[in-house]
Amino acid sequence: MKNKKTAALYLLAFLIVIYLKHYADRAGSDSLLWILRPTTWWTSLLSGHSFTYEQGTGYINHNLRFIIAPACAGLKFWMITSLMLTCSFLHRIEGPKKQLLWLLICFPAALAATIFTNGIRITLSITLPQILQAQENLPPILTPAQLHTAIGTLVYFPSLILLYKLADHLTQNPEKPENPPTSPNPLWKKYLPALWYLTPVLALPLLSRLAHRDYKNLTRYELPVLTISTIILLLYTLLLLRTSKKAHNNTPHPQPTAK
C-alpha cells in the first residue's frame, strides 16, 4: 500500500509539471506577472537598474535595451528543480501524509530558488556583456546568443547541484541510513543532479534538432551548454574526489595487533 501511495505522488508530481509545461508554452507576460515581478525586483536590487513593465512584452530598460520577457521567467528551471526535489527524495520521507507535505513544499521552495537564481542569471546577462564590450582588444569568442546561453548554464547547473545537496542533507535519516556504513554511496547517485539538468536542457533539445536535421544551429545552443557543463562536471568531480579523500583520511582504521 505504501509503495502504491508513493507511486501516486510521483505521478502527481509529473502531472503537475506537464500542466506547468502546457501553461508555460502558452502564457504571455501578463499571465506571468506572478513570477516576472519578483524576478525583476530581485534583478533591479542586484544590478542597480530599474525596469518598467509594458503590457504584452515584459519588463523593459530602454537604456540597456534589455527586456525581462516570458522567456526569461525561469519556468523550465522551476519545473526541473521541482521534479528533482520530489522524485529524488520522496522515498526517504516516512508516511503518506509527510510525503504529500514534502511534495507540496517542493514546488514553492523550487519557485523561490528559481526567482533567486534567475535574478543572478539576468544580472550577469546584463553586466557581463558590458564588461566584455569594454575590453576593446579582446576578440569576441561567443556570439551574444551563445554568451546568453553560456551564462544560463553557468548559473543554473551549479545551482541545481547545490539544491540537490541541500535536499539530500535535509532528508537524511541518521537512524535509517540509505547506505550501510560499510557500503559507500554509489557513484551514480552523486551525479543525479547532472542527469536532472542535462537531460531536458541538452539531451532532449539535441535529439530534437538532430531529428529535424537542424545541424546549422547546433553551435548556437548545444555547444555552449556542452562546453560549460563539461567544465562544471570536471570541477564537481574534482570536488567529489577531494571530499572522498578527506573523509577517508578522517575515518579511523584498525591498528594491526602485535604478535
Q: Is the pLDDT of residue 47 over 60?
A: yes
Say how far apart CA 81 and CA 113 lie, in whole Å.
Answer: 9
What is the pLDDT averaged over residues 194-218?
A: 90
Confidence of residue 182 (pLDDT cuts 50, 70, 90): very low
Look-up of cell digits 551548454: 225
What is the pLDDT averaged over residues 143-161?
A: 93
CB atoms inside a 10 Å sphere around CB 125? 20
pLDDT of res. 247: 64
What crossing angle do the helices spanning 204-211 and 222-250 adopt, rounded to 10°? 150
Residue 66's beta-bridge partner residues?
A: 61
pLDDT of res. 259: 47
What is the pLDDT averaged over residues 148-166?
A: 96
User: Helices in the chain by DSSP H: which ranges?
Assistant: 2-26, 33-47, 75-89, 96-134, 144-170, 187-190, 192-198, 204-211, 222-250
Q: What is the pTM of this model?
A: 0.88
What is the pLDDT averaged over residues 48-64?
A: 96
Confidence of residue 189 (pLDDT cuts 50, 70, 90): confident
Q: For 43-92, what is the HEC assignment?
A: HHHHHCCCCEEECCCEEEECCCCEEECHHHCCHHHHHHHHHHHHHHHHHH
CB 81 within 8 A of CB 160: yes
Say how far apart CA 9 and CA 98 lie, in whole Å.
Answer: 11
Confidence of residue 190 (pLDDT cuts 50, 70, 90): confident
| pLDDT tens-digit readout, 105-121 | 999 999 999 999 999 99
What ranges do the domains of the chain cover? 1-133, 143-175+185-248
21: its cell numbers: 509545461
